[in-house]
Structure 1
């Protein structure tokens, strides 16, 4: 019996993170009922499987700059800031895009969905390059714009969301020093908390081969 059997989950979420979460609940046995807007559904429903679906079914694998989420749209881009950092923009839906354009001061004509993508991309890049990453963070903070400053690795590992979820809490020992282990999708209840060290290369080989030889010898003696 799966752990969430006999559990019913109502999913009111949109975009990919919510449905992906409820997919995991369904895999654990839950009955998931997704609530979508009549006649419209989730705005990214067509995108959910487009890459693999088109690739395997029609041989149409996505390439750079040939589709909405591979760089062809100014709404889904990485733009450079004045201080050499980057702003990741994923404002695919109109409500996000309109907020984003308003906050950066993009002319209304360029925010229109019928505007030339290359012209819009150049205009947005010029606007974003006028300010530092932290200045943009302060401007869009509190607004639904679906964009973020691209963090460095050092910033990412101490991000409040990473810390609150304990993503890097588990440690392994490397040459006697604790190092964050790769996160794993296993409930903490089933995982150990103490730091463990991976064996160094080589020393266990002779021991294991010796044990195997003894085991095989014992097996052989039983057959005689």
Structure 2
């Protein structure tokens, strides 16, 4: 079966995570992706630890199945050398601060004169315009300044350091992919590409829909540890078990709450929605702490209660459901061996059967379309 993006050429000027992960998804869907890297060092991610052979495992995971061209974008002849590829490319992804590509002669206005059909995607932290457009930041900063981090209160009330790079992936990568595909569809209708301004900070607000609704309607701005999904309810909590494991309990709806409280034998008065929240939380915590994780796993098995034992990552990747879904069926060839490839959010129908691919060595691609 032909993959949906076969025949498309993507030039990826980005480094690190948001842009490269976006182009990885496009590559997995069939696009030809050519990384444009600086000579000598390449993508900054190549130098990260741990390493597998010459490159970091981070780089290998994010750049499977791509090609690499090493070129100094500041060189006087860089634009001339890239013109043959730009003229036939379908998509450009870049991740520099606003204005950098313009100064290199590779900004949208310059390249669209070469190729009006080009979809040009700029991924930045704060967007192409606005007071923060030139401010340097990382994932943690975007979550801090958009209010996301402030809603993640720990036991002492301090924000909890997130283990996932939500701004990069959910605010950068995924919106970039969505808008690139929309722009390609628009190009089918109009014959012209466009410039996409993807701002990670902007896109994080989407995930706070419930909090924005509370604040904008005058019900009060939610605080960490106080709202329904931030720790303010016994129906959405993490409880410690007797053996030091944790139970993630999310019996939000009444039917789930009724089943959950029956199984843990919570006293009838505390099952009432009008019961004091802190009293109920303490009583539930006491009951969960009385038994081991395995005890609770067995007690909740086959029951509609929306409860899970918190898994380690090692346990999660070994889960029988993950195996049945063949989530790690694709392989990444590296340093003479293989490791599972990074799963990407593509429906199975859009991906080939299990494949084995490598990430490119720096500058390995000798392309007849690239002037030398």
Give unpaired runs (5+ residues) of structure 1: 4-48, 218-224
Corresponding residue for residue 197 of structure 1: 358
Corresponding residue for residue 237 of structure 2: 77
SS in 2 for 1:70: coil
Could you tell me how far apart the structure 2 residues matched to 1:178 and 1:134 are? Answer: 34
Could you tell me how far apart the structure 2 residues matched to 1:116 and 1:64 are? Answer: 19
Corresponding residue for residue 208 of structure 2: 51
Alpha-carbon RMSD: 3.0
CA deviation map 1:85-115 (0-9, x unaligned): 1111000011111111111111111111011
Instruction: Confirm whether residue 92 of structure 1 aligns to residue 252 of structure 2.
Output: yes
Corresponding residue pairs, total: 165
**Mapping of residues 1-224 of structure 1, within 5 Å:** 51-52=208-209, 54-55=211-212, 58=216, 63-192=223-352, 193-200=354-361, 204-205=362-363, 215-216=370-371
SS in 1 for 2:239: strand
Structure with the greater relative contact order (CA < 8 A, sep ≥ 6): 1 or 2? 2
1:171 deviates by: 1.3
| TM-score between both structures, scaled by the size of structure 1 | 0.64
Corresponding residue for residue 38 of structure 2: none
Could you tell me how far apart the structure 1 residues matched to 2:239 and 2:312 are? Answer: 15
Give unpaired runs (5+ residues) of structure 2: 5-205
CA deviation map 1:166-224 (0-9, x unaligned): 11111112333322222223344543422112134xxx33x56x869x8446xxxxxxx
| TM-score between both structures, scaled by the size of structure 2 | 0.40
SS in 2 for 1:127: helix
The alpha-carbon distance between structure 1 residues 53 and 107, as it changes in their structure 2 partners (threshold 3 A), is closer
